Structure 1
């Protein structure tokens, strides 16, 4: 479905709505034409918009063939507003629409259309199956972002549009709000924003003060000449399910048997969810893996490839996944879990080899793995399978209790991971750009990866930068990914990092810089002056090569509780810990 609206000099609103999914009434018949109630439900705030345009009422309706195509004319006293509806869908039935429904709305950046935006979001959220409380929250979040675009994207009354795109999936609603207006002024230093102006900027920021409470994920994208967009994700609540019975203190080994390694079938998702509970309790960092529908959504969207180990009797006893949220030439080997009764039988190696075979079929160059640092067992297993340490991800997720591993004695703190990578073939040499102080450790990391590297000189950017911002409410983590490095955008990046911590509640903020770009070395220096610290490399995660990761923590954290399996992991940790100490208070204070 697409909706377009515009105001001409005579205050005329034109809207086109098309590609709606046909749907019958409760008795299965196709509605011959929409009722006034249908139109009100479909457009939500449309009546409010028309009233502000001096619209009077529906005074004519023309039915065109075929019967489910409708053309309505809404005439105000002056000229009029024309509304065309094709493939009308009756919205009286409040049940979720078909999965992967995509709806678009384009309106002028004009406050008179704000109620239409709210109505658009309200009816979509209702159709997706959200509660009234959740619907109101989504309305407010969309209003916050839209008002920001209306007031600041197009200065001096310059005409422009706001583009909304919504996708209703099986388990979530994704809403994108984009404008093609004024980019952020890269020359505006933080010191230039003070008093009331600073309060106003912080209040609108990325809309994170409201978004923190109303959505599960938020991503801000600076698209350069293509404008900027805010992407919001709201997940549907899963039905309450009884918690499984407590685990026995010891699980008896299953009888010896043969296992089949193959792709997961949809009906096996519930068995995979149960294995996660058997292995981790409800402590795994991503709740989607405890929900069959969440697991299937990840598979259906192409972000997850699942492989399972199955007994002769059809029981799923192991799972391994390939996570690939972006089209990078790498993916993360994740979600490797074995039923405790079937451990020690080579299933981890068999699943890992199957994963690698599928990754090669996908044309990937290598895979990353992120074993935890609360114990060294998973690090040992990863390194035996060829993973090589190249970075740390400190405070990556909320505390994990590992009930199945029996480590509940220490006070909880956010879990950290050792980032490891394995190339499938010999990697080519690279030329990277980092401040001189980091060149020695970067050289050591590339030696660990068996990859040659040389260093280039830092240099200012020659083109406008581009970056993306993600906030995951589930793990309270913000990530700023720089796509095109531009040191002139540092004030903007710093304010984004501060907003993620102060308004969104992020307990850790990551900054990823593309190592092959000379301006990244300049951005790295600025970031470290603001309390970020070096935490390693992320091979093949940048659009043009490897990324440098910097972090800033906003939560209590004791690095001495981390455990490491091998000497290089410990060496890398010592370097990162020293950088944390240099950042001092800046690591826990926004904008420090």
Structure 2
């Protein structure tokens, strides 16, 4: 959940921001001591921005985004003040002791009181500072290992035959959903928030997820399946699927998927999409069965995949296939397809049944400055840069963002989304030569209901042979990416 505050570059704004930050930290689950430390870091950052980024502070503003997940909190401060290089302002203890020179002390405090401190230079778009702190609600990893070591191996037994019905989930189902997750996975499910009924209830009340629950005629919860609407577009991700082990092989999962597709259409969603792991083809086969089309292959997308029954540790971050199911018919949309990827993008559109009119770029006008959003997934060590507008500074802005991520985050992969309905995309793609990006796939309706070309930059070594892709077209995409990766290596 994001909370956004727009404050003036005025010293009078510092105390109210810090008071809010402290209360917010406590509400997010930090202890009083950790909340105080994080608030101190926030205070240092906001103070430095207000005092030094805007020498002429009249009518200048700072945007603050307070972002919360179950496992961490993050403050994102965005401003368009004077250029700044943090490497030029490092703290020197000897200068502080001997000369009273405390330059860089504020940045040192920020780094000590947070788990991650990231600076992103976005050129004419300004600068971005990100402060992150882990929230240790409980040590889920210890619980996972404990449950694995204590759980005896049980012989497989025949599933219990049962009559059941499927209905849409409501906040009242929250506790049963948490119990279903535990009974099926104990503490090995990767989405930790599903162990907390209050968290589930909150997301259902806020319509942050839509889904169905399966119950026996006696009212026992047997299965749960949900789709998660994207905040910036009218599509939803298929995820959070579970069937109680005693009631599998009775068509419950398939029937829930059918109901989910109906729910998506009833809510007028443009499409459903899934990220099917390539460690084995089971989830890919399920998606194919219901008409999903593979549109991309995201290499090294997640570190956080746990599979029961796999004794050996998977030797690299897990890649995922993007599967998409359009839910509505569309009028032909104008798209500008780069020549390099014209054929594979056109075939992807055809397989999806999405009507397009390919256009050629003719004398487009760049925006005054580039505009790009950055999403960082700290736990998976990946980032996604979403381009909104191209300016003359596009390549330099992108290079600065990449350098910041590579120097500070040590990512597995960096993804880049380019708008296909923007006339500038084909020629701007040529500006990316030498930056190490290769094809990832088509991301239809992924941002602001528009289609995007997703590229990827692989930042660590991996083995393509371990990436198991099921569908024929998915294998075609994999082959295309493999060839391009080989040429760029």
Q: TM-score range by the shorter chain?
A: 0.7 to 0.9
The 8 Å contact of residues 266 and 296 in structure 1, kept in 2 or not, is answered as yes
The 8 Å contact of residues 75 and 130 in structure 2, kept in 1 or not, is answered as yes
Aligned residue number for residue 350 of structure 2: 447
Match 2:437 to one of 508, 532, 546: 532
Match 1:566 to one of 454, 471, 474: 471
Normalising by structure 2, we get a TM-score of 0.81
What SS does the aligned partner of 1:371 have? Answer: strand
The 8 Å contact of residues 41 and 113 in structure 2, kept in 1 or not, is answered as no
**Cα distance, 1:506 vs. partner?**
3.0
Match 1:477 to one of 364, 367, 382: 382
**Cα distance, 1:156 vs. partner?**
4.8
* C-alpha separation in 1, matches of 2:193 and 2:225: 15
* C-alpha separation in 2, matches of 1:364 and 1:276: 27
What SS does the aligned partner of 1:138 have? Answer: helix
Aligned residue number for residue 434 of structure 1: 337
* C-alpha separation in 1, matches of 2:72 and 2:480: 40
* C-alpha separation in 1, matches of 2:75 and 2:159: 47
**Cα distance, 1:141 vs. partner?**
4.5
Q: 1:278 to 1:519 in 2, by over 3 A?
A: farther
Spell out the pairing of 1:42-441 with structure 2 (5 A cutoff): 106=7, 108-110=9-11, 117-118=17-18, 120-126=20-26, 128-139=28-39, 141-143=41-43, 145-146=45-46, 149-150=49-50, 153-156=53-56, 158=58, 160-162=60-62, 164=64, 175=75, 177-179=77-79, 181-182=80-81, 199-200=87-88, 214=114, 236-239=135-138, 244=147, 246=151, 248-266=153-171, 268-277=173-182, 279=184, 282-398=187-303, 400-403=305-308, 406-409=309-312, 411-441=314-344
* C-alpha separation in 2, matches of 1:542 and 1:271: 33
Q: 1:431 to 1:392 in 2, by over 3 A?
A: same
* Count of aligned pairs: 467
- Using CA pairs below 8 Å that are at least 6 residues apart, which structure has the higher relative contact order? 2
Aligned residue number for residue 407 of structure 2: 502
The 8 Å contact of residues 483 and 542 in structure 1, kept in 2 or not, is answered as no
Aligned residue number for residue 66 of structure 1: none
Offset from partner CA, 1:348-367 (integer Å, 9 cap, x none)? 22111221222122211211
Q: Which has the larger radius of gyration?
A: 1
The 8 Å contact of residues 10 and 57 in structure 2, kept in 1 or not, is answered as no
* C-alpha separation in 2, matches of 1:569 and 1:213: 45
The 8 Å contact of residues 53 and 81 in structure 2, kept in 1 or not, is answered as yes
- 5+ long unaligned stretches in structure 1: 1-99, 185-192, 585-592
* C-alpha separation in 2, matches of 1:526 and 1:414: 29
Q: 1:101 to 1:441 in 2, by over 3 A?
A: closer
- 5+ long unaligned stretches in structure 2: 92-103
Offset from partner CA, 1:439-468 (integer Å, 9 cap, x none)? 111112112212343433344524543221
Offset from partner CA, 1:136-187 (integer Å, 9 cap, x none)? 55235524642563366435555534455658899976755454x4498xxx
The 8 Å contact of residues 234 and 449 in structure 2, kept in 1 or not, is answered as no
- After TM superposition, the structure 1 stretch with the greater mean CA deviation from structure 2, 284-293 or 540-549, is 284-293
**Cα distance, 1:514 vs. partner?**
1.1
What SS does the aligned partner of 1:314 have? Answer: coil
Offset from partner CA, 1:426-446 (integer Å, 9 cap, x none)? 343333223311111111211
* C-alpha separation in 2, matches of 1:322 and 1:532: 30
Q: Provide the aligned C-alpha RMSD in A.
A: 4.0
Q: 1:200 to 1:305 in 2, by over 3 A?
A: farther
